[in-house]
Amino acid sequence: MPPFEALKMARERMLDLVEISPNAVPPVCRIQDYGKFLYEKDKSERAARKKQKVIVIKEVKFSVTVDEHDYQTKKNMALRFLADGDKVKASLRFKGRQMAHRDLGYKIVNRLIQDLGDAALVEFMPRMEGTTLHAIIAPARKAEAPPKKPAAPPDAKPTDTKPDAAKPAEVATTVPPANNPPPAQP
């Protein structure tokens, strides 16, 4: 159909003629409300952005002279960051004469990697950049588990209150104890 006829049809319907595929031969156009089209497109893009997970890199700083309690606290913070789905940058800054003992810094960062264990994957092994030793640790990929159904409390009654014809009726019976002899006759 010639473009002027398509434009005439669009104006009769109080809509717009929108070019969908300009590179096609012949070009593909559609008669639609352009404002509504832009609104729907923007809405779908917002929904897609809402669903995506933004990965943040959180930093945990150590020193060569870190004490045991401080180390445990920072290790627990790294575990919490990993559990939230964020990456962790473990950095250790050498000051002054500490540069002569880089092996101590490597021991601390490698110990952290060992302690995080299965909760983490090492993205970048410890490496030096200037006076800073750092490693980047990502959360371990979990196998998708099926969603858990909430368990009903043991004293909960079934929701079906109507008697069912297919179910057998409950009969109360009394059975005498097996090990007691019957009472004696006088």
Q: What is the pLDDT of residue 21?
A: 87
Q: What is the pLDDT of residue 143?
A: 46
Residues 37-71 pLDDT 10s: 899 989 999 998 888 877 889 999 999 999 999 99
- Which residues span the domain enclosing 9? 3-49
* Same domain for 133 and 62: yes
What is the total count of domains within the chain? 2
Residue among 112, 107, 103, 52 nearest 81 (CA): 112
Q: What is the pLDDT of residue 135?
A: 94
Please indicate, yes or no, if residue 169 is contained in any of the structural domains.
Answer: no
Residue ranges of the chain whose pLDDT lies below 70: 142-186
CATH of the domain at 21: 3.10.20.80
Q: What is the pLDDT of residue 54?
A: 77
Find the helix packing angle between 102-116 and 68-83, rounded to 10°: 50
Please indicate, yes or no, if residue 163 is contained in any of the structural domains.
Answer: no
Global pTM reads: 0.52
Q: What is the pLDDT of residue 184?
A: 60
Helices (H), the chain: 3-12, 34-51, 68-83, 102-116
Residue among 150, 142, 93, 152 nearest 121 (CA): 142
The answer to whether 112 touches 157, Cβ cutoff 8 Å, is no
Q: What is the pLDDT of residue 146?
A: 46
* Same domain for 44 and 63: no
